[in-house]
Structures are given as structure tokens and as C-alpha cells.
Structure 1
């Protein structure tokens, strides 16, 4: 059984599939037993065909396919559910996350206390357009003030987390943007780790600043409500 599952959600990323798979292999082969779980979110281009070609020469690669488009959070969750390893690393399928950062996340995990269940990437030198960086900075500031999750960057696609802890979180669309707050709500600790970030080399973004903002307002209110209504207590088994 693998020790790590790398989950990659993709939608219409045919030109980014092969380069990213190659980078994952170069980052992890010889370091850890791993698998790669690609989740094709009903792509309409040649993404699935490229993945099938790579499967023939990449024993670590598994492919899950959505029959209808369901979005990134659903793709991540279905990938995690299909994964066989106890720990999950996620990457965006556009190639902007650097798989070479995964070994550092694993090293951070090995040094951390057992109650740290999420290591979130922090894009300290983000390679996006000025408007996207500004919108992200504004959204992060509002989110941090409202949720108090002490996380400078929740939108970064590269993360490392425990599979069991993730699957216990409440599921909703766009939940992948609120993992630190949701993990903390569940009683776990989270750590932000500086990571590399690269310009998109092929394809186009699936999000717009306006679209993110409209959805984000509703999601923020929902996550804030979840946190406010959360109750935790220690338990013990009573024996005769």
C-alpha cells in the first residue's frame, strides 16, 4: 500500500497533464511509496486521452473520471475517497504548483506534533496577474478577519493532510478553499509552509475574480456559521 496519494483534479488541462505527472515522478520516486490519483472533472478536450496514454507507462498513475462536471472540491473529495494512502498531497492540475515542494511538506509533517493534520502551501511569490493577486489578497484579508484561521493563503492548491481527518470534515462545494478553518474547527492544528509558485504555461484559468467573489461571500458566511455552531468535548470509554 502507498504511504502517500497525490490527488490532482483537472478540467480541460490536456497540455499540462504529461509535464506535471513527470514532475511528480521525479520529485517522489525513490523517496516514498506513492500513487498519483488524477480526477478528470468531465473534461471536453483531450485530457482523458492523455491520462490513458500515461497510464500505460506509469504504474503509479490511477485515473478517476466524473461523468458530469462537478467542480474542484468534489473532484478533490472523490480523489481522496479513492486514495489508498493515509496521507494526501494535492496539486492543482494547471502546473502552477511545484511537485518539488512535496518532499518539504513531508519533512515538515515528520517534525510536527501529531495533532497537526494539515500543511498548507503558502505562495509567497505568487506568479499571477496583478488583478488576481489583488483580489486574492483582499479575499484572504476578509477571510482571516472573519474566520481567524491564522492562514495567509488558503487558495494555494498544494497541501498535505491526513486522509481520515479530511473525510470527517463537512462537505460542500468550494470547501477546498477553507480547509485550514475546517480542520481547526475539528480540533486539529494547521501549519502554513512557503512554497514555489509558477506562471501557467498552457490552458486557461477556470475561475474569474467576480465568480470567486460572489461564491466566496456566501461560503464565508456558511463556514463562519459552522464554526460558531461547533461543539467539541473529550470522550472516554466507560468499562465495567
Structure 2
């Protein structure tokens, strides 16, 4: 079995009205990219699992997973990442608001090799005002305290090296802090503007309470991790030391 370049990960709950079109858009956007798609059905009650099984029977690139009971977005992404085969992980939300057409550009930037994560930045939001307000406040608080230099860390559209993701500590809601966690491991993050679209069907599972206030304890934990990290730390190997050690002829010349 060939190893795909990219594993697209979609956590989804009750998104049967959005997933079919989203999967079609991903296939079109990544037609020239060797990829697989892992959709984690987080205990949906709307027929998502039946639909995913039927599509997977016709598309070998689709690998659906299912929680019997809801475990949340971070756990869904974490479990899918451990089952993914791609060198890079591309995440996006299952509500269809992230545009798969942005994926090739983010993947191309990530493959330059100088970053561990490329995050999307939704410069124009298509959400109701409570969601926009909570996201704006959360981004400002996180940015001020974590200094993660990421204007929109809540954007679900991200490309991250799988090896870098697997090195991160797991905790619930970790998906909200991926840039800061990558920085704490000595990695580098960049943000690119991406398209954002109105939700097509269903309703959001997030609001002010579970988007802002519920993350305060996690925020303190990530602050502690960044404070205690000594990465990146300069490290000389025997090979690099030999390359930089002058020979006797060089010392006498």
C-alpha cells in the first residue's frame, strides 16, 4: 500500500448535510495530490455514519472512523492522526465553512521544510456575531498570553507535519492551541489568509461558554509548558563538529 503525502482529517458531529459536498470538494482540490481522508464521526445521530460507510465502499481514499459516544474535536483529531499514513496532516472542520480549495496552497507552503505548521487565517468571517465575538476575544487573550504569533488559531484549516503533531502532549481542547504547542517544541508556525464560508446546513456546537471560558484552565497549562520549554536549543553533533574543526594544515596556513 502506497503512503500518501497528505492525510486530510475531518472531525464531524451531525454534519450529514455538509459532508458529501465537502468530500467532493476535497477530491477536486487534491486531485493532483496523493492523499487520504479520515472523517471521525463523533457520535452523530443524523445518519452521518451510514453515509460515510456507503461512500467509503466506493472510494478507497476515504477512511471513516466513529465514536460511540462523543469525545470532542481534539480527541477525534488525535486518534485520526495516529491512524493516518500521510507525511502531512491537513485538518478542516466538517461544517463546510473551511474551503478545501485553500488546501494545495497551504500544503505547498508547508512542504518548503522551514515550518512545522501552516495555519489558516479567516480574514473575512461568515458567522453570527456571538461566535465572531467569542473567537475574537479568545484569539486576543491567547495571543497576548501565549505569544504564538497566530492571528486566528481557532481556524480549523491547518497543515502540520505528522511527526510534529505526534510529539505534542495530548489533552482535551488541544486543537485550540496547536501553534503554541508547536512553538513549545521548538517548531515554527506561519499563517496564510484563507476563505471562509457560511455554514450550509445544521448548527454550530460551539458558543461563548465552551469556546472561551472552558479553555482558561487549558490556557494556563499551555503557558506553563511554554515557560518550561528550553527548545529550540543549539545542539552540535559529532559530524558537525568534525566539519567545523580545522585540520592541522588549515591551522598552520
Asked if these proteins are the same fold (TM beyond 0.5), I'd say: yes
Distance 1:73 1:67 in 2: 16
Q: Which residue of 2 aligns with 1:83?
A: 84
Give 1:56 shift.
2.0
2:154 alignment partner in structure 1 = 155
In the TM superposition, structure 1's runs of 4+ consecutive aligned residues that sit over 3 Å from their partners are 232-239
> Structure 2 CA distance, aligned partners of 1:186 and 1:47?
36
Q: Secondary structure at the match of 2:121?
A: strand
How far apart are residue 132 of structure 1 and its match?
Answer: 1.3
Q: Which position in structure 2 is the counterpart of 1:3? A: 5
- Per the alignment, residue 228 of structure 2 pairs with 229
Question: In structure 2, what is the Cα distance between the partners aligned to 1:211 and 1:172?
Answer: 15
Tell me how far apart the structure 1 counterparts of residues 54 and 92 of structure 2 sit (CA, whole Å). Answer: 20
Residue number in structure 2 paired with 1:217: 216
Shift of 1:231: 2.6
User: Is the counterpart of residue 24 in structure 1 residue 26 in structure 2?
Assistant: yes
Query: Aligned partners of 1:171 and 1:116: how far apart in 2?
Result: 21
Aligned position for 1:100: 101
Cα displacement string for residues 82-108 of structure 1 (whole angstroms, at most 9, x for unaligned residues): 100110100100000000000111222
C-alpha RMSD of matched pairs (Å): 1.4
Equivalent position SS for 1:210: helix
Shift in Å, 1:67: 2.6
SS in structure 1 at match of 2:64: strand
Match of 2:176 in 1: 177
Native 8 Å contact 2:130 2:207 kept in 1 = no
Instruction: Please name the residue that 2:242 is paired with.
Output: none
Q: How many residue pairs get matched? A: 236
Once residues 17 and 58 of structure 2 are traced to their aligned partners in structure 1, the CA distance between those partners, rounded to angstroms, is 18
- The TM-score normalised by the length of structure 2 is 0.89
Structure 1 unaligned blocks of 5 or more: none
Q: CA deviation at 1:40?
A: 1.1
Q: Tell me, yes or no, if the aligned pair for 2:22 and 2:96 is still in contact at 8 Å.
A: yes
TM-score by length of 1: 0.94
**SS at 2:58 equivalent:** coil
Alignment-derived partner of residue 136 in structure 1: 135
